[in-house]
Amino acid sequence: MFTKILIANRGEIACRVAATARKMGIRTVAVYSDADAHAKHVLACDEAVHIGPPSPKESYLLGARIIEAAKATGAQAVHPGYGFLSENEEFAQACADAGLVFIGPPSSAIKAMGLKAESKQLMEKAGVPLVPGYHGADQNPEMLKREAGRIGYPVLIKASAGGGGKGMRIVAKAEEFEASLASCQREAINSFGDDAVLIERYVTKPRHIEIQVFGDSQGDCVYLFERDCSVQRRHQKVLEEAPAPGMSEARRREMGEAAVAAAKAVGYVGAGTVEFIVEPTTDGDLRFFFMEMNTRLQVEHPVTEAITGLDLVEWQLRVAAGEPLPLKQHELRIHGHAIEARICAENPDANFLPATGRLEVYRTPAAAEFERSVGAQPGSANAAVRMDAGVREGDAISPYYDSMIAKLIVWGADRAQALARLDAALAQTHIVGLHTNVAFLRRVVASPSFANADLDTGLIERERAVLFDAPPLPLEVAAAGVVAHALAAERVLEGADPWSRRDGWRLHGAAVRRFDIESQGTHHAFTLERSRAGEQALVNGGQRWPFAAVARGGEVHDVSLSGRRWTLSVYATGERISVFAPEGSAVVDEFDPIAHAADGSGAEAGRLTAPMPGKVIAFLAQPGEKVTQGQPLAVMEAMKMEHTIAAPRDGTIEELLYAVGDQVSEGGELLRMAAVA
């Protein structure tokens, strides 16, 4: 077994690998960019080596620099995690050439499966079912469009070297093909350095089910059952679960054996995932087609660990060290049900726009950290709730890397118990300082489709009415949280003499105190009235709610409104106040009517500004050009994704304020427009 390994990654996966290595008595070396100098994964390892500026192209993607760090620190092996260099056959070979063990498959297997078109041709020879499509080498746009017409719309354009949902576009009709192809190729070049694509028939109600496989250097290979990853946005996974609902034992065995055959066809060693598109048949069964093989550990591997009680990183290390697989196929069993939720810095109500900022508050469920959760027996206390994260409170989410903050994994004896535990754990996840998808995840979990396991990749769009722009916590409850927090803070300042009392007592009449808040752009004036007898009421307009609040310590308050009790966690960061309850959450701002009245300038209507920090990829209109509201004007890249920005109104382009390739801060004005005369 190795005595020291280098982890060529960052964030939660680097922390995850370090935890298993520590358990096995293996020392670890971290690598870090300027942006990650004080990151959690750096402190999680025994040593750390600086490798460059924040941009991945100048740090985490520099294989030669990482190999130098491994050799300089005496590491015997390199664990690539996922993303970055994990599926780069040249890096895997460079490790081998340098005398380092690459903790993953041989470079030949990565190469065989890394290009989607070639891998599909390989699977076709092996007899694995394929979705009808074009996987050839001719990349002439006109020829690709003809192939799309032959296959029949809708079609899916996919980057041949892609993964992680990047470089994928659904095309509904021929008129949209050229623009979709160009966008897909731009994203593919930026993410993978290769703009080759393949085209497939788009299965209209597809499920995404993948099989976890593991091979060793002795030629043995097993499957560790399936994961359903159908709930997706922008072709990226949101929720993953194991086992897949509705999967019969016969179909599970058939898909597992097909996945093992695919792995053996390329001499696979280590952890890998064979992904299938699955569609229902008229008789209620499932028909599956090979989609791709990810030649690495997956983000969602914890749900497999939860239902098997195994540590897949430990398996990776043992196999990479030349040991045989720890278990045979007949020894593997499924226990219970597990679900993973990806907690991301993004705004679901703004088309999942990535968010950046500081984690002013980062509170998680009373969960076992993965150091104790991994390998825990299903059903044990440590297996119930697990949080995998590479951040701490106070850390910043930057525009340089993926938007994922953490992964929340729950286990239950059955799916119903897992769902209940997931909702409760999400309710206890409090993040303040930037937009996140936590509230959205709760809505997905509670949606009829997900709750009833009516799964396919169109679930989010199908449930749009209940998932987006959902009302937050009732406004009066949010206001009650603001009041309770203010009163509790003032009581801390009270002295022993009656003149410092801050409870609103008056010698004559009732005490009235005003609280002005702004919610979703609207000003609301609440008043707290207190009678001489000590009775309190919260008042807004013509509504009145009897009110009482008791501080439970810290940010937690027991609040009563009209006889209904709420437990609220309230966090104030500057003028912004975030209120969390088991039933939901809300964010409001303190409103100063005097200051607001004095600010008569306001923002210029229709300004085209950057909604997030990022890089300008393209301008789609030039100075002097007339444009209409909703017309795409610019393309930006942030957090490894492309984002198209549309005209806020009709007008004429006056001036482009940035050049293609420039970095733009959030709120930066991209171009100037003149109103239509």
> Which 8-state DSSP code applies to residue 264?
H
In which band, very low, low, confident or very high, does the pLDDT at 503 lie, cut at 50, 70 and 90? low
Do both 495 and 582 map to the same domain?
yes
Do both 280 and 387 map to the same domain?
yes
In the chain, DSSP finds a helix count (H) and a strand count (E) of 20, 40
Q: Which amino acid is at 92?
A: A
Do both 613 and 665 map to the same domain?
yes
Determine the pLDDT at residue 288.
Answer: 92
The reply to whether 246 falls in a domain is yes
Q: Strands of 264-336 (E only): list them.
A: 270-280, 286-294
The distance from CA 602 to its chain's CA centroid, rounded to whole angstroms, is 35
Determine the pLDDT at residue 612.
Answer: 74
Percentage of residues of the chain with pLDDT beyond 90: 68
Q: Would you tell me the crossing angle of helices 11-23 and 312-320 to the nearest 10 degrees?
A: 70
pLDDT higher than 80, residue 593: no
Do both 446 and 321 map to the same domain?
yes
Q: Which of 16, 65, 233, 296 is catalytic?
A: 296
Residue 228's alpha-carbon distances to 293, 301, 303, 521, in angstroms, are 15, 12, 10, 39
What is the token pair recorded at 321?
A: 């060290």
Determine the pLDDT at residue 602.
Answer: 39
Contacts of 12 (CB under 8 A, 6+ apart): 41, 388, 389, 390, 391, 404, 406, 407
Mean pLDDT value across residues 648-660? 89
Do both 462 and 480 map to the same domain?
no
pLDDT higher than 50, residue 401: yes
User: Hey, which residues does 651 pair with through a beta bridge?
Assistant: 627
Query: Tens digits of per-residue pLDDT, 2-29?
Result: 999 999 999 999 999 999 999 999 999 9
Mean pLDDT value across residues 453-460? 94
Look at the pTM and tell me if it is higher than 0.75.
Answer: yes
Determine the pLDDT at residue 59.
Answer: 96
The reply to whether 224 falls in a domain is yes
The reply to whether 149 falls in a domain is yes
Do both 236 and 150 map to the same domain?
no
Do both 389 and 420 map to the same domain?
yes
- Which residue range is the domain that position 661 belongs to? 608-674
pLDDT higher than 50, residue 601: no
CATH number of the domain within which 660 lies: 2.40.50.100
Determine the pLDDT at residue 605.
Answer: 44
Do both 576 and 615 map to the same domain?
no
Taking the CA atoms of residue 652, residue 656, residue 660 and residue 662 in that order, the dihedral angle to the nearest 10 degrees is -140
CATH number of the domain within which 169 lies: 3.30.1490.20
Query: Tens digits of per-residue pLDDT, 656-672?
Result: 999 998 888 777 889 98
Q: Which of 557, 573, 597 is the endpoint of a domain? A: 597
Determine the pLDDT at residue 119.
Answer: 81
Between residues 432 and 190, the one the model is more confident about: 432
Residue 378's alpha-carbon distances to 178, 333, 371, 389, 550, in angstroms, are 50, 11, 15, 21, 39
pLDDT higher than 80, residue 465: yes
The reply to whether 113 falls in a domain is no
Q: Which of 231, 355, 240 is nearest to 641 (CA)?
A: 355
* 576 included as an active-site residue: no
Do both 80 and 164 map to the same domain?
no
Contacts of 584 (CB under 8 A, 6+ apart): 439, 442, 472, 473
Determine the pLDDT at residue 457.
Answer: 93
The reply to whether 40 falls in a domain is yes
CATH number of the domain within which 308 lies: 3.30.470.20
The reply to whether 302 falls in a domain is yes
Q: Which of 577, 597, 617 is the endpoint of a domain? A: 597
- How far apart are the C-alpha atoms of 622 and 671, rounded to whole Å? 10
Do both 390 and 273 map to the same domain?
yes
The reply to whether 117 falls in a domain is no
In which band, very low, low, confident or very high, does the pLDDT at 88 lie, cut at 50, 70 and 90? very high
Write phi, then psi, for 461 (nearest 5 degrees).
-65, -40
> Which 8-state DSSP code applies to residue 604?
P
Q: Would you tell me the crossing angle of helices 301-308 and 312-320 to the nearest 10 degrees?
A: 100
Do both 225 and 307 map to the same domain?
yes
As a whole number, the mean pLDDT across the chain is: 90
CATH number of the domain within which 63 lies: 3.40.50.20
- Cβ atoms of residues 404 and 352 within 8 Å: no
Buried b (16+ CB within 10 A) or exposed e, 113-152: bbbbbbbbebbeeeebeebebbbeeeeeeeebbebbeebe
- Cβ atoms of residues 395 and 359 within 8 Å: yes
Q: Which of 148, 177, 201 is the endpoint of a domain? A: 201
pLDDT higher than 70, residue 498: no
- Any idea which of 7-11, 183-187, 212-216, 577-581 has the lowest mean pLDDT? 183-187
Buried b (16+ CB within 10 A) or exposed e, 335-345: ebbbbbbbbbb
CATH number of the domain within which 585 lies: 3.30.700.30
Give the burial class of 674: count Cβ atoms within 10 A of its Cβ; 0-12 exposed, 13-18 middle, 19 or more buried: exposed
Q: Strands of 8-146 (E only): list them.
A: 27-33, 47-52, 77-79, 101-102, 133-134
Do both 282 and 377 map to the same domain?
yes
Number of domains in the chain: 5
- How far apart are the C-alpha atoms of 123 and 130, rounded to whole Å? 8
Query: Tens digits of per-residue pLDDT, 418-427?
Result: 999 999 999 9
The reply to whether 118 falls in a domain is no
Contacts of 654 (CB under 8 A, 6+ apart): 623, 671, 672, 673, 674
CA 605-611-613 angle, 5° bins: 135
